[in-house]
Structure 1
Amino acid sequence: MNDQLSLSELINVQIKAQGPMSLSTYMNLCLTHPTMGYYRKSDPLGRTGDFITAPEISQMFGEMLGVWVAQIWQQLDKPERFTLAELGPGRGTLMADMVRIFQSVPGLIDALNVQLLETNPVLKQQQANNIKGASLNWVEEIHQLKASEGPLIVVANEFFDALPIKQFQYVNGNWYERLVGLKEDKRSWGLSPTPMPADAFPPQLGKPAENAIWEMAYPAQKNMEELGAIVAEKTGAILAIDYGYAETQTGETLQALEKHQMVDPLANPGDADLTTHVDFQALTEKLDREKLNICPLITQGEFLKAMGIELRAKAIMDHIPDAKEKVENDLNRLIGAKQMGELFKVQAIGSKNMVPYPFEAG
């Protein structure tokens, strides 16, 4: 007989014992509980999972990122050793596609040290199986990248959107933290009884509308600060790709996906992927601008076009005419204005005097 509490029961017990919990605590439990968390227990990716990421749509996405990494390596004067770190590498599809590109760049594979930031044992095994042609190392904390060899190039595709956030709601002239509580033994939203000090909120929010929601992603900011400090010291660049917005604003973006369907975020803890849109202004605002070059944000469509994805698509269609319709559909999904091309943004950060191609200096 299994008398272990489910994650849903565990969260309810914690709320009963300690009172309503912050959304960040709730998200942490849902996503990273050691045995029942969404990212710890299974493979959530792909057509049979809960969502499909850009690398799973088409090899062209990973190939363009591989071209970008090769370009940065050349901008760094082709160091004899460098580290490429991928944050949240999924099944390893993106890294596998990048490594395939590296094999056509003389000297790059010999210089390459791959570090994968991953905590899910199922995905670690898949990464080991899927990534061929490069030696792999795994880390579970960003600070471990300090010990990596040579300059550091970081790729983070749909990483920051899955980190826990806090939500605040504007009611009668004050901000209150939004909490997860219980109502008749069912999880529901509520507000902290204590108003937050007005100076704790970004001035960009101005005077919000009644019941406006503001989301604060402290773990994402902290991770980016840590990455920035390492890149500033070691030299290199960071590339972050995520759906999000350029300037801090109000608006609720929390969503839960289960088997490709939107579901109630409070309904099935550990069974659905919880994500939010990334506030790129907040993500980069605490970085050291004396030591880092924070490039202006561009869209995924702009980035992939600049890296040559349209030429790559044409080459594939010329080589495999039967694939024409699929390649055209995949291309449109990745760069189309009404698809991922506009919704997803690309943030590049370079070490001092490094302006990562194809971005402009910050």
Structure 2
Amino acid sequence: MALKDRLAREIALTGPMTVADYVTRCLHDPTDGYYATRPALGEGGDFITAPLISQMFGELIGLWAVETWQRLGAPERFRLVEVGPGDGTLMDDALRAARVAPGFLEACDLILIEPSGPLREVQARRLAQADVSPRWVRSLGQIDTDAPVILIANEVLDCLPARQFVRTEGGWAERRVGVTDGGDLTFGLVGITGGFERPGFEVEPGQVIEASEQQAAFGRDLAAMLAEASGAALLIDYGRDRPGVGDTLQALRRHAKVDVLATPGEADVTQWADFPAVLEAAVRAGADVTGCVGQGDFLRRLGIEARAERLRTGRPEAAPVIGRQLARLTGPDQMGALFKAAAIFSPRSLSVPGFET
């Protein structure tokens, strides 16, 4: 039975499903979930991420990790962690760039957090010849805190779903997924009688707000780990850097937006990262945080323009392509502004590269 039919039957028996629960099932249902069965990255897949646009992205993240390691005192042993490594391209590029730092690779315990079986297989093939052999775990809780941690999470928060709430003329309601008499999935509103934390900003009737318990928990768990182990976590994602309204739920298939409810499990489903909620949760859990920086500014601070110029010099025939890649990663009308970077770190004395003011 298709996931859509199973969800419709479940909803008919138990009642409307929260948007967050629906997205989780679309992505991680063990039988038919998108990441469990058919993740498709790259130009020929459903979506593309920054590491697949240009080697420059992963190289600069690798140099960011090296600089962070040096600012931590170049410990003889540390854990380099990537959450949601995609097809392994980012880490492959990062490890290659890190060869410039004597001692970094020798001190590195490489850990990849990946719940998707198909993607673990792709990552293993990509990193088979890497300078450091990775090991895989399924959650942050499986990482020991007896050594400093340097963690990278590129486009992870947008995979952690949010519930949606709507201000109506009669009060607040939650947007949920229900089922029609004909068996199709549909959105509807369920009134809220209690247990809802109203936002601290103005919301007009008809407007939607999103609240992600999973994103906040991720920030909290990162902070707890770093407060104990020391280190820094770099978060890069598309999303908001201040509280606000908006329905950001979308499904992507072959790089085009599709109906979120039409074919659950067959498309990538995402929502914006809520950086304010994640960083607030981290502070409450005992770590320090940076502010948000646009991806374009962050990459420029790390030296992407100089790196692009070196690549152009070495490969003049590829100069136009390199220029387009640079523009896509940093342009304010492309990924440069919508995508944000922020860091969670400990101890307070640590200065995180790319966020100095």
TM bucket (normalised to shorter chain) is over 0.9
Q: Does 1:55 align with 2:51?
A: yes
- Seen in structure 2, the aligned counterparts of structure 1 residues 123 and 149 have a Cα distance that, compared at 3 Å, is farther
Structure-2 residue corresponding to 1:123: 119
> Residue type matched to 2:336 in 1?
G
Contact 1:296 1:360 in 2 (8 A): no
TM superposition shift of 1:290: 8.4
TM superposition shift of 1:358: 2.2
| In 1, Cα distance between equivalents of 2:337 and 2:194 | 34
Structure-2 residue corresponding to 1:168: 165
| In 2, Cα distance between equivalents of 1:14 and 1:43 | 25
Contact 1:83 1:149 in 2 (8 A): no
RMSD: 1.4
Q: Does 1:219 align with 2:217?
A: no
TM superposition shift of 1:149: 5.2
TM superposition shift of 1:108: 0.6
2:259 to 257, 264, 283: 264
| In 2, Cα distance between equivalents of 1:53 and 1:47 | 10
| In 2, Cα distance between equivalents of 1:91 and 1:128 | 9
SS in 2 for 1:287: helix
1:152 to 149, 152, 155: 149
TM superposition shift of 1:158: 0.2
1:36 to 26, 32, 39: 32
Q: Does 1:201 align with 2:198?
A: yes
| In 2, Cα distance between equivalents of 1:16 and 1:290 | 39
Structure-2 residue corresponding to 1:85: 81
Q: Does 1:321 align with 2:319?
A: no
TM-score by length of 2: 0.96
1:351 to 339, 346, 349: 346
SS in 1 for 2:232: strand
CA deviation vs aligned residue, 1:37-60 (integer Å, no higher than 9, x gap): 001112320111110000000000
Structure-2 residue corresponding to 1:277: 272
Give the length in aligned residue pairs: 353
10-19 or 282-291: bigger deviation: 282-291
Structure-1 residue corresponding to 2:137: 139
- Seen in structure 2, the aligned counterparts of structure 1 residues 152 and 266 have a Cα distance that, compared at 3 Å, is same
2:290 to 295, 311, 320: 295
| In 2, Cα distance between equivalents of 1:277 and 1:268 | 21
SS in 2 for 1:249: coil
Structure-1 residue corresponding to 2:332: 337
SS in 2 for 1:103: helix
| Unpaired stretches in structure 1, ≥5 consecutive residues | none
| In 2, Cα distance between equivalents of 1:173 and 1:9 | 33
* Identical-residue share of aligned pairs (%): 39
| In 2, Cα distance between equivalents of 1:220 and 1:25 | 14
- Seen in structure 2, the aligned counterparts of structure 1 residues 296 and 196 have a Cα distance that, compared at 3 Å, is same
> Residue type matched to 2:7 in 1?
I
SS in 2 for 1:257: strand
TM superposition shift of 1:223: 1.3
156-165 or 183-192: bigger deviation: 183-192
TM-score by length of 1: 0.95
CA deviation vs aligned residue, 1:132-162 (integer Å, no higher than 9, x gap): 11111101011111x1551001100000001
